Structure 1
């Protein structure tokens, strides 16, 4: 019983604070909306400093481990000279600029004179490739001219490219999902009586989605300004933020439905936040604690993902 009374006391205090905030917002609605857009836009400017880190050996290798220390020690002993003085023996030691090409004759015999001449032409072409031009792109251009050879290749950036292609290849599906979520939020808050201007809440639903969008812009800008690198896993943060934002929006709409007995706009907004504020606070604090715990991860991919999400919650 004491625990129930204590929970009711805390809920009453938090609800009362949100009710006061609702009255304040009602009295200064335009000022708060303009200030919110200005502040989020200013924080979003930080995205001009956005830096990307796609090296899987850095992102998925735990910090402070012996493997990372050994790698740093090897880099000091065997500096990367592959751009000016390439030695194939050092490829297995340091992550230099290299490319490997595997050749197979489409005619079945690699020792055929015609095939060997083509191998020689390809070898001469590869020797002329400069690393700054992009090894993968250059080899792709050459494969168009190959007639009697089947080529397979990899280079120093192949692992990074494949990992990012796997992650960013789903961007189209994520965008389609976001469109469906936004459409659902607007339709679900739409009144079946199109002429009912009081019960029509489609624009309130759209406003909730817009607020989530502003949270994405401000959190990304603030993280970039603080020097937190953008990693491939951060690409799903907008999807997560939109999902949480829409969930909170429906909680607010439910609270607004229960506040219809109030007469003035100020009382309705105060009652809405009093009812919904407690639930939103609990879910937000739960998310914040979970992502704060993840921000202490030794994996940079996990840590940066959680930091970007924590800034959104804040």
Structure 2
């Protein structure tokens, strides 16, 4: 989605998240028209004139210096991912430098490694959360969903997502924050902008989370699913970025200790291990397409 004055919008959204108390200010008894800090408060805390900061938010000043950005990052209490996003928005050549074609080719060694992790679901996604490769269990996690090829669309557009993701709100917040983090690497990417625009049109919940302006890469965490074939899965995941393919992310899932997930993954693996004749397996590190996924589902109760 192409936004006008992205830097100003981001600054405004972030100052709305910081209360005077969090900023170390003594709150007065008067009425405050804004939920967070006022423009003049941000300016004073960052050592800027109120007029200059107003011009930043209004888009009349788009290229602040490094020292100004560092001061604003401190006042707005931005984490490292959010700081990188701020600097990308403010860099005069960021869009051109970061809008290179996305690399989606998964090398044969990585594909073989995915299959070696046969006991653990593993997937590879690109900057738009397209699933570009998966081992058999990784593909089986999302099998049957219309948008299994894109985790953001699955989350915000699929009708089944609120049932499938048992911790939907947590996953939604982290997914939107991860999309903003991806934008800090690829600010001018038209595919990423298009995805954000599509999700904004189709999902009020996505818009609500996008307006929070959180920025975090998904490095590790938990995922609680209600799989239609094997029931509840309690998973942890770790995300790796291959040095040979920095635009891709490898996500490996493991069952949480003291849960029945390990046994349920074994059952899921047995259901997907031997596809019926005439259907392609999800092995060799390749995910099934949406049509093939539905065809590969075993009969209910099978």
TM-score when normalising by structure 1: 0.28
Instruction: With a CA cutoff of 8 Å and minimum separation of 6, indicate the structure with the bigger relative contact order.
Output: 1
More strand by share: 2
More helix by share: 1
Higher Rg: 1
TM-score when normalising by structure 2: 0.29
